[in-house]
Amino acid sequence: MSDSDRNALDFVDWNELKGKEARGVDKSVDLGEIHGIGRTYVVTKKGLVDKDKFYIPKALAEKYDGKTVWFNVTDDLKNEFIHENPPAEEEIAKYRTADSPTYINDRVVVVSEGQPVVGEMASTRTEELPIADWTRILHKNVRSMDGEPVGNVVALYPDTFHVESQGSQMAYDIPKNEVEGFNGAEVRLKAPITDLERYVTRD
């Protein structure tokens, strides 16, 4: 894991997550509890008697909120991960993409959602800001208050996020408190494009 990955966000090591609840894309996708940690997957068990055993690729992990580890797994997809024994490495590897975080086999992003966090403590600053889960804005477009395109979010830091324009002609480190909102596809800022010059990091 690079230094930039380590410093940009708060993390918890996978080994600290044994016994934690695992969920899919929403609370209805119950993946049981984490019982084991492999190199590229986690083992979860669900049920009281005939327990389903899931081998879930770490690459599908999205966040840990202090209580639950959330995975990008739908109700239909979860059945693909039910195995009695560890699946072949290529079965796990196919879920890792170019967008998968470089650190994902070692640790998970911690997001504070009002729950006490075990391990590395998450910053509570995000609770006072318009976006609860800042990882959602990675690789999303940014637009100024007056509707001008600013660029694409390429990195996150404790108090700012790094934006680069198309072709990397301009780059900004924009404070998180400059965000007006996020609609799932685009970040909208409070400031007009002319006011963003103070955040330029290079010409």
Each residue of 128-162: pLDDT tens digit? 466 878 888 999 999 999 999 999 999 988 889 99
**What does the mean pLDDT of the chain come to?**
83
Residue whose tokens read 């068990």: 45
Domain boundaries of the chain, sorted by first residue: 3-122, 134-202
Instruction: Compute the CA torsion angle 26, 31, 32, 36 (nearest 10 deg).
Output: -130
Helix, strand and coil content of the chain, in percent to the nearest 5, comes to 20, 35, 45
The pTM assigned to this predicted structure is: 0.53
Residues 13, 16, 18, CA angle at the centre, nearest 5°?
A: 125
CATH number corresponding to 134-202? 2.30.30.240
Each residue of 158-187: pLDDT tens digit? 889 999 988 778 899 999 989 988 888 899
- Is the dihedral angle over the CA atoms 121, 187, 102, 34 positive or is it negative? positive
Establish how many alpha carbons lie within 13 A of residue 108's alpha carbon, considering only the half-sphere containing its beta carbon: 32
